[in-house]
């Protein structure tokens, strides 16, 4: 009973946080102005952006499958892609302690009989790998806007981080999980989402400071990773609002970018609901290792 009470408290706090963030955002920019920008957006660009978002999720599922393969815990690729889509759905609609990642861990553990610790480590590393690529892209794009001294300092810091990242993983998790392919796939994931963001910019007729908007988009993606809101809603829009004010960008369109990306994410994630009714089964069962 205490467990379920805690989950409902977490859900209530997330709803409260999301509403709070959106209230702050729409005190600065009226909702009707943002909605007007969204409704006037070009559907062809949004459709193209959706395709690149789907591509990013495909790369992400391939990366997860490769992490399992590197960890001698191979799972069927079709099974993995179906489970990944269902996990996306749960990340949106189970905003409690039982999210899509937790579901994937339990499902793979039960279906393939791999140890819970191993599966948890791989799924967590999959997230970390994406975050590392995300931070690298933010730094890389930011070099265009900062002076040489700050740029060199930032490059040295990020270089140190990129050296420590695999060393820490190999020391505390596994020597074999990280490979060139897994990290390259992480870059493909984030670049595909950047192209998705660029398509959204074009959909709402943004033709200036595109790179700056994409940097803010990447920063908002980092902010949305924290499990404080429902599907990142509110956190992403608030980040866009603050950054748009600081960098003198169009606040209405900046907030609209966050909403449109959320809508695209939600649309794609909804397809995962199919696998609630169509049970996902592994092609083969492995013995416990």
d(CA 103, CA 288): 19
C-beta of residue 85 within 8 angstroms of C-beta of residue 267? no
d(CA 7, CA 3): 6
C-beta of residue 198 within 8 angstroms of C-beta of residue 214? yes
Rg from Cα positions in the chain = 20
C-beta of residue 281 within 8 angstroms of C-beta of residue 287? no
> What is the predicted pLDDT for the residue at 133?
94
> What is the predicted pLDDT for the residue at 38?
92
Give SS3 for 284.
coil
C-beta of residue 112 within 8 angstroms of C-beta of residue 286? yes
Q: What is the mean pLDDT of each run of 10 residues along the chain (289 residues)?
A: 59 76 82 89 96 96 94 90 90 65 90 91 91 93 86 88 89 84 95 96 92 92 74 78 87 90 92 88 56
C-beta of residue 230 within 8 angstroms of C-beta of residue 92? yes
Give SS3 for 35.
helix
DSSP class of residue 283 equals: S
> What is the predicted pLDDT for the residue at 7?
61
> What is the predicted pLDDT for the residue at 22?
81
φ, ψ at 179 (rounded to 5°): -145, 170
Q: To 10 degrees, the CA torsion angle through 96, 98, 100, 103?
A: -170
Measured CA to CA in angstroms, residue 243 lies from 70, 159, 185, 260 at distances of 39, 26, 28, 17
pTM for the structure as a whole? 0.88
> What is the predicted pLDDT for the residue at 244?
86
d(CA 72, CA 4): 35
Helix (H) or strand (E) holding 90: helix 77-93
> What is the predicted pLDDT for the residue at 288?
42
Go through 84-97 and write b for each residue having 16 or more CB atoms within 10 A of its CB, e for each that does not.
Answer: bbbbbbbbbbbbbe
């Amino acid at each position: 009973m205490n467990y379920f009470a805690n989950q409902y408290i977490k859900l209530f706090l997330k709803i409260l946080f999301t509403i709070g963030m959106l209230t702050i955002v729409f005190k600065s920019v009226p909702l009707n102005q943002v909605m007007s920008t969204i409704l006037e957006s070009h559907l062809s660009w949004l459709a193209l952006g959706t395709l690149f978002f789907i591509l990013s999720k495909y790369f992400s599922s391939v990366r997860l499958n490769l992490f399992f393969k590197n960890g001698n815990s191979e799972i069927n690729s079709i099974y993995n892609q179906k489970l990944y889509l269902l996990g996306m759905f749960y990340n949106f609609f189970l905003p409690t302690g039982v999210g899509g990642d937790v579901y994937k861990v339990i499902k793979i553990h039960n279906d393939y009989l791999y140890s819970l610790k191993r599966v948890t480590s791989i799924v967590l590393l999959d997230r970390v790998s994406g975050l590392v690529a995300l931070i690298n892209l933010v730094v890389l794009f930011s070099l265009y806007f900062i002076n040489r001294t700050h740029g060199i300092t930032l490059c040295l810091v990020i270089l140190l981080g990129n050296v420590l990242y695999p060393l820490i993983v190999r020391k505390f998790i596994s020597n074999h999980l990280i490979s060139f392919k897994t990290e390259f796939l992480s870059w493909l994931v984030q670049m595909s989402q950047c192209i998705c963001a660029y398509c959204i910019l074009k959909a709402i007729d943004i033709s200036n400071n595109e790179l700056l908007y994409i940097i803010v988009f990447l920063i908002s993606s980092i902010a949305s990773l924290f499990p404080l809101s429902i599907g990142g809603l509110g956190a992403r829009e608030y980040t866009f609002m603050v950054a748009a004010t600081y960098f003198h960008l169009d606040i209405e369109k900046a907030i609209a970018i966050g909403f449109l990306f959320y809508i695209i994410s939600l649309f794609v994630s909804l397809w995962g609901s199919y696998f609630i009714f169509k049970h996902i089964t592994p092609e083969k069962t492995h013995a416990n290792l």
